[in-house]
Amino acid sequence: MSTKVFGYNPDQKEFPYDLNHAKDLLKQAGYENGFTATIITDERKERINLAEVLQSQLKGIGIDIKITTMEYGAYLDTLANGKHEMYIGGWGNATGDADYNQFNVFHSSAIGEIGNYSFYGNLETDKLIEEGRREKDQQKRKETYARAQAMELEEVVLIPLRTISHLAITTKNTEGLWMNPVGFFIFNEVTVK
């Protein structure tokens, strides 16, 4: 989650970059000689570029990636129906609250079209997400979502790569433009002197 989203956990550890450990994990999983997989993405240039970078990097540990680019509707249909091995996607946050990401991306009832394209299902994670929805104490909600995120990262449901930050430049004659916590520009009350 973005640092601006309620429930973001600044203490969450990131995956270390360790090629030797990655090779060891492949060996332990029975893929000492690597494997071949297909990664799908839509036609956005930045996602295609990212797929090409991943293809190059994974080759270094013996994983041969084929990239398939799809029209956006076909891409979403493929994801929703689980007809993919790997994918590059994105998920924004329209509410500024962890529940939006947590429920739609990780809850087992959101598998498929709703947004859980990893087809992840874990009853403990579901319970934490539901607890976070019900809890009124904001500090307790943060702690609950931190536990859910730790479980999701431990199980490597998906690998978060980046968060986009938005920037706006205006003149001193512009008033009323603001950005909400999730990066949407709000123009409703903009005036120019």
- Per-residue model confidence as pLDDT tens digits over 29-61: 999 999 999 999 999 999 999 999 999 999 999
CB 39 within 8 A of CB 65: yes
42 burial type by CB count under 10 A (0-12 exposed, 13-18 middle, 19+ buried): buried
pTM: 0.81
Q: What is the model's pLDDT at position 163?
A: 64
Tokens of 59: 């080759």
Q: What is the model's pLDDT at position 160?
A: 79
Tokens of 165: 């930050």
Residues of the chain with pLDDT under 50: none
Residue 32 gets the label, from left (phi > 0), alpha (psi -120 to 50) or beta, of alpha
Q: What is the model's pLDDT at position 165?
A: 67
